[in-house]
A = this chain, B = another copy of it.
Amino acid sequence: MYVIYKNMISKNFNFPMFIWAKKIFPWHRSLSGYGTYKTLEFLKSLNKELKLKFFKSGEKCFDWNIPKEWLIRDAFIQHESGKKFCEIKKNNLHIVQYSQPINLRLKLNDLKKKLFYLKRRPKSIPYVTSYYKKNWGFCLSYNQFKTLPKGNFKVFIDSELKNGKVHYGEIFLKGKSKKEILFSTYVCHPSMANNEVSGPVVSIALSKYLSKFSRKKLKYSYRFIFIPETIGAIAYINKNLKKLKKNVICGFNLSCVGDGRAYSIISSRLGNTLADKALAASLKDKKKVKIYSFLERGSDERQFCSPGVDLPFCGFSRSKYHEYPEYHTSDDNLNIISQKNLEESFDVLKNIIDVFEKDLHPKFRFICEPKMDKRNLYESLSKDRNYLNKSLRDRMDFLAYADGNHTFFDIVKKCNFNLSEGIFIYDLLKKNKLLI
């Protein structure tokens, strides 16, 4: 099949996420087709555990059907003068995704009905799709649109819509417990950086990070899915509903995790699930944290939280989709993401993974306070105000709530720690055998 990529695995945890992003950015992803498959193969080259899977066109998934496979090879508009416009070889946003094949001559006025542009953002090509209704069209910047010459145009789309496959990728890392943490992201967006090469690269990095734990030592199981948005989530749920409902104790949708302007939580449907708590804990003390209600959802949390599925599942983004100006335009390019931002997003989720792998329900070993001075965790001489020492108190506070009922995320919230502080204190207490 298409292409196999050279292994780009880094040996330590400094995953070159931006380099990966740059690599896959130009490919023409969509719900299906060449670019999506190529992307999945690339991700597989980074983590061999990734399984390439697919749904078949026409397959019924609840209220939906899997669409046809779309193979796009070329598309442009050519003026009678010979001048070409909207060449997807220059930018694959120029075509309305899932456009039918066409070879037609049109006058400018007729052509205009099939053109999409953004007056509010005149230099940007918008991103337009028509997956489920036969259609075709081109997208271009408003400035370009205004320069279209009068006369006749040739419209050419070399595409194919066939009963085929909608591919996706899945990594399952089996731990001691069947209970799993689910990470979902999508591989259906062409040539946009924050939305959505950031999600796949952070996800694959997290999956690689988990290899630092030997498989036998993983406490929980972890699942990463790289799917087309909406239909992929619906089809995946359709296929795995029972298993998901049984095993998933926490899940996240990763989308737009590459820019640096904010940290966003899209709350679960009922709020206050383990996923909501985990993200809130991990984002404590970050600047510009936005917590959106489920009413402001927009990505696959729509499916994973829907009634009847109802997983403990949140969306995690930096700038949430509609909230950043470049969203769904050609300006969502590599300039608005960075290695630093990707690493920050990675760390937010890595800390959550660390908590699961350390102990979701830390439990204090003793009854009554421990004797801290004999472990050099407190001063033996009680003098002026040493009880006020914050780091000494923090240890006692962690223990006070480590009753086996509070999750790690509850504990840090009660104690007003951020997750890194909580992990630091946990490690110290664990090392001193104060936790079971």
- Shortest Cβ distance from A61 into B: residue: B368
Report, as a range, how many residues of chain A touch the other chain. 35 or more
Asked if B126 and A367 sit within 8 Å, CB to CB, the answer is: no
**Using Cβ atoms and an 8 Å threshold, which residues of chain B touch A403?**
307-308, 310
Closest to A119 in B: B384
Name the B residues within 8 Å of A396 (CB-CB).
302
Distance (Å) between the CB of A298 and the closest chain B CB? 6
Complex Cα gap A415–B132 (Å): 28
- A250 CA to B175 CA, complexed, in Å: 44
Picked from B62, B234, B306, B363, the residue with its CB within 8 Å of the CB of A400 is B306
Bitwise interface map of A from 228 to 257 toward B, beta carbon under 8 Å scored 1, else 0: 001001100110010000000000000000
Which of chain B's residues have a CB closer than 8 A to the CB of A381? 96, 128-130, 133, 135
Chain B residue numbers with a CB within 8 Å of A234 are 368-369
* Residues of B contacting A369 in the complex (Cβ-Cβ under 8 angstroms): 63, 230, 234, 302-303, 306
In chain B, what residue has the closest Cβ to A402?
B307
Whether A11 is near chain B, meaning CB under 8 Å from some CB there, is no
How far apart sit A295 and B64, CA to CA, in the bound complex (Å)? 52
* Chain A 403-421 interface 0/1 with B at a Cβ cutoff of 8 Å (1 = within): 1100000000011100000
Contact A384 B308 (CB under 8 A): no
CA distance A132 to B375 in the complex (A): 12
Residues of B within 8 A of A367 (CB): 62, 237-238, 241, 306-309
Complex contacts, A393 vs chain B, CB 8 Å = 295
Cross-interface CB contact of A383 among B63, B116, B132, B399, cutoff 8 Å:
B116
Counted per complex, copies of this chain come to 3
Question: A129, B373: Cβ atoms under 8 Å?
Answer: no
- A37-69 vs B, CB cutoff 8 Å, 1 = contact: the mask equals 000000000000000000000000111100000
Which residues of A, 264-310, contact B by the 8 Å Cβ criterion?
Answer: 269, 294-295, 298, 302-303, 305-310
Q: Is the CB of B238 within 8 A of A380?
A: no
Given A132-B371, A234-B368, A295-B415, do A126 and B307 touch, yes or no (CB 8 Å)? no
Type the 1/0 row for A359-394, where 1 means its CB is closer than 8 Å to any CB of B.
Answer: 000011011111101100000111111011000010
Neighbouring B residues of A399 by C-beta, 8 Å: 307
A263 to B63, CA, bound (A): 43
B384 and A269 contact, CB distance less than 8 A:
no
A226 → chain B, closest Cβ, in Å?
A: 19
Contact A380 B132 (CB under 8 A): yes
Contact B133–A368 (Cβ < 8 Å): no
Q: Is the CB of A384 within 8 A of B62?
A: no
A242 CB, min distance to chain B CBs, angstroms: 11
Docked complex Cα distance between A189 and B129 (Å) = 67
A366 touches which one: B62, B328, B373, B382 (CB < 8 A)? B62
* Given known A322-B385, A381-B135, contact A308–B364 (CB-CB < 8 A): yes
- Does A118 sit at the interface, judged by CB under 8 A? yes
Q: Answer yes or no: A344 CB below 8 A from chain B CBs.
A: no
B132–A374 touching, CB < 8 Å: yes
**The residue from B63, B322, B397 contacting A295, defined by CB atoms under 8 A apart:** B397
Known interface pairs A128-B381, A403-B310; A62-B368 also in contact (CB < 8 Å): yes
Residues of chain B within 8 A of A128, CB atoms compared? 381-384
A-B contact pairs, 5 of them (CB 8 A): A62-B370, A234-B368, A295-B414, A306-B364, A307-B367
